A and B are shown apart, each in its own frame.
Chain A
Amino acid sequence: MTHTDGSPGAITRRQMLRRIGLTALVAGPGAGLLNACATSGGGSAAPAASGSAAATSAANPLGVNPASPLEVVIFKGGLGDAYATDVHEPMYKKMYPQAEIKHVATQQIAQTLQPRFASGDVPDMISNAGADLMDEGALQAEGQLLDLTPLFDAPSIDDPSKKVRDTLLPGTVEAGYIAGKPYVLKYVTSTYGLWYDANLFKEKGWTPPKTFDEFKTFCETAKSAGIVPYAYAGKNASYYQYWMILISAAKIGGNEVLINIDNLADGAWTAEPVRQAAAAWAEIGPYMGKSFEGLIHTEVQTRQNQGKIAFYPSGSWLENEQKSNTPDTFAYAVAPTPSVTGTDKMPYEAIRVAPGENYIVPAQAKNPQGGLEYLRIMLSKEGAKGFTEKSGSFTVVVGATEGLTLSPGNQSVADAQKAAGQNIVTLSLFETWYKELETELRKQTNALMFGRIGADEFVEKMQAAADKTKNDSSITKQQRSA
């Protein structure tokens, strides 16, 4: 854009353009860029990792200065902040009685913290969540985030012979990678699978099918009982369905299948596992009936609560989401997606458990060791159990729900995770990376499931869309290795 001074037209245009740009910055994903600008003032200072540190020992592997105060900022949203005030902070206080803990709860993380990042007066641990979260990529690029590797390599509080990273669900550490290093702890998990009413199944004497052959037999049985065997909401939630197709593809060919798709690898969609998964699900589609393409997710979920639908694909938020509609007789339970072939790389029990809800330690914190130690406490079994009790959500800590009284749905998630063990299906990242590809996938998923195209055409159309994204120079490409 050339700058032509004196021409009023050009000036208005420039100003208007800048104004639009600014609005987009404030409103959209660019918020982080604004952070970057605001924080760049104090950004040149080196991480203040010295000063407060103490010598490390077996009891204090991160070298926390017991006397240093700790400031914790918690996003007080759907999870509340009682898990911090009633569980994690008392635990920290118990370990370091001299330390003074300052608790800050906010619903506007960016507004609260942006000026503090700019001035260099940052807290020691932040739950970066909510609609106004800070862009972690931008923070990392400015050198504002602390590398969490020492935390993941530190011994676990429950079993000092194990590193923290080995007590977490597979993929947790990698999920927090920015530029090849773990800067973010993703603490809360969602579990994806086929949801059903355990009481209805008990009453009818049904069990969730373990293979697609069994699934088809089940569909016939349910149909003859006057119940729609399987349904999703085509009108606005076809992505619930493509999750299932992708999970099946990963079970057949391993997580590499999904990683290849994310990396826009050549032939990632036309690969045999994806084709087989699409073909298997396409056979289930006709049992649903055409009408579900025109229904929205709440309509379908309510129909399931009314006992009209057997299986519904979703994540572990479903039970909570449907709370007000669920009759007392309805007990949510989750089943893994059935195996497609006899030679699937992952067993039937494999399930997608995706970590989310981000926690970070600022590099310029006054007590960064304390921040890391606080996260280590969160990742202890006691800390994780307390979190689940207070917030109703699961954490990335393996086996932290033992002995808890859980809702039926959560209990079933715990059982499913236990059965899955290390067989965790990874989350697809292209959904947020490449929105255009994702939109095409929604469209083609409906076409596949409602019988307008076959599996071959499905994978070819998706491959074409992926290639189009790959060849579009205006789209920034991303890569993942795990």
Chain B
Amino acid sequence: MRHGRYPFIIGFLAAPLILYVVFVISPYFQAFYIALTDWRGITATPEYTGFDNFARLFDDEVFWHAVRHHIVLLVAMPLLTIAIALFFSFLLNLGGGSKGGRMTGVTGSTFYRVVFFFPQVLAVAIVGVLFQAIYRPDESGVINGLLGKIGVQPIGWLTNPDLALWSIIAVMVWQAVGFYVVLFSAGMSAIPKDVFEAAALDGAGRFRMFFSITLPLLWDTLQVGWVYLGIAAFDGFALVQVLSVDRGGPDNATTVLPLEIWRNAFNFSKYGYASAMGVALFFMTITFAVLTLRVTRRERIEL
């Protein structure tokens, strides 16, 4: 049997591994190589230019705008999403208090759980088009139409440079919350009931229960959520592309790196420079993931 096992395993692993190498790993390596050339997408033999493209990044105002936006996204998007998702999943699972010795959610929580998941089901493009109508800057927009009814002047959600990025972050949060509600709900239901019961017997209120029991026992799930959201914060391409003024505007106020990569590659035919941006983005994402996992490492609570 020993002899038959390896071909069997290899047979199963080979196909996905080859696909992964061809479509994920090899493009990465190519991007690293192309980043060192002045390739404009047409010639078969790009000129090797060393670190020219990377040097150019340092003087590129738009690149630094995009990096700053990723930092804002990185802090705001996961914080908001996790805070809201935690709040909702606590309400859905434990918010109803103890009934007959069991912790329950608020009334109708099974229904809410489905509703919260809806935005996750919608394709990003649809979300983009939807919010285009919601954010429209005159009275025909959903929000501004409502504001108009109470006599408030239309607000340029996406045209005011100070507001535009936050409007887009709000859409990202709106779309992500549902998934994390489900994720955290699953985490909470894995917490043994007797822990809550014991706490309830000792007279802990909902707040105390949330901060002293739910949160610490949910830490692993939170950490995973944070890494996922952080990586999502390095994207944002589709929403910015659809929603923002002049793709990344006004005045670069909403631009993100994937958008600039796309623009440089497919609009300006500067594949080499776009690849350099891609490599920079790759290192940012990796650094973030490693840092998050290191910093949030805690002693595991054995149950």
Q: Which residues from chain A sit less than 8 Å from chain B, CB to CB?
A: 1, 12-13, 16-18, 20-21, 24-25, 28-30, 33, 234-236, 238, 289-295, 299, 435-436, 439, 442-443, 446-447, 450, 452, 474
- Whether the Cβ atoms of A24 and B251 lie closer than 8 Å is no
B39-53 CB contact bits vs A (8 Å, 1 = yes)? 011111110100000
**Contact segment of B71-79, B152-160, B178-186, B291-299:** B152-160
Separation of A364 and B266 alpha carbons in the complex (Å): 35
A435 to chain B, nearest CB (A): 5
Separation of A10 and B137 alpha carbons in the complex (Å): 53
- Whether the Cβ atoms of A21 and B44 lie closer than 8 Å is yes
Interface centre among B38, B44, B46, B160 (most CB of A within 10 A): B44
- Whether the Cβ atoms of A294 and B246 lie closer than 8 Å is no
A-B contact pairs, 26 of them (CB 8 A): A13-B33, A16-B26, A17-B34, A21-B43, A24-B41, A25-B42, A29-B269, A30-B41, A234-B246, A235-B246, A290-B137, A291-B159, A293-B245, A293-B250, A294-B159, A295-B138, A435-B267, A436-B268, A439-B267, A442-B246, A443-B250, A443-B251, A446-B246, A446-B249, A447-B250, A450-B159
- Whether the Cβ atoms of A294 and B137 lie closer than 8 Å is yes
Interface centre among A13, A290, A299 (most CB of B within 10 A): A290
- Whether the Cβ atoms of A238 and B246 lie closer than 8 Å is yes
* List of A residues within 8 angstroms of B287 by Cβ: none
- Whether the Cβ atoms of A294 and B38 lie closer than 8 Å is no
A314 to chain B, nearest CB (A): 18
B163 to chain A, nearest CB (A): 11
- Whether the Cβ atoms of B138 and A18 lie closer than 8 Å is no
Which 9 A-B pairs rank lowest in CB-CB distance, beginning with the nearest?
Answer: A294-B137, A291-B137, A291-B138, A293-B159, A294-B159, A30-B42, A24-B41, A21-B44, A474-B38
Count of A-B contacts with CB under 8 A? 96
Separation of A447 and B253 alpha carbons in the complex (Å): 12
Separation of A33 and B38 alpha carbons in the complex (Å): 19
Q: Which residues from chain B sit less than 8 Å from chain A, CB to CB?
A: 26, 29-30, 33-34, 38, 40-46, 48, 135-138, 154, 156-161, 245-246, 249-252, 263, 267-270
Chain B residue at smallest Cβ distance from A1: B45
Partner of B249, one of A13, A28, A290, A443: A443
Partner of B46, one of A1, A28, A447: A1
* List of B residues within 8 angstroms of A28 by Cβ: 41-42, 269
Separation of A28 and B267 alpha carbons in the complex (Å): 11
B69 to chain A, nearest CB (A): 16
Chain B residue at smallest Cβ distance from A444: B251
A245 to chain B, nearest CB (A): 16
- Whether the Cβ atoms of B137 and A295 lie closer than 8 Å is yes
Chain A residue at smallest Cβ distance from B48: A1
Interface centre among B38, B158, B249, B250 (most CB of A within 10 A): B250
* List of B residues within 8 angstroms of A33 by Cβ: 42
Known: A17-B44, A238-B246. Is A443-B154 also a contact (CB below 8 A)?
A: no
Known: A21-B44, A435-B267, A452-B161. Is A290-B156 also a contact (CB below 8 A)?
A: yes
- Whether the Cβ atoms of B246 and A236 lie closer than 8 Å is yes
B284 to chain A, nearest CB (A): 24
A285 to chain B, nearest CB (A): 13
A15 to chain B, nearest CB (A): 10
B199 to chain A, nearest CB (A): 50
- Whether the Cβ atoms of B250 and A452 lie closer than 8 Å is yes
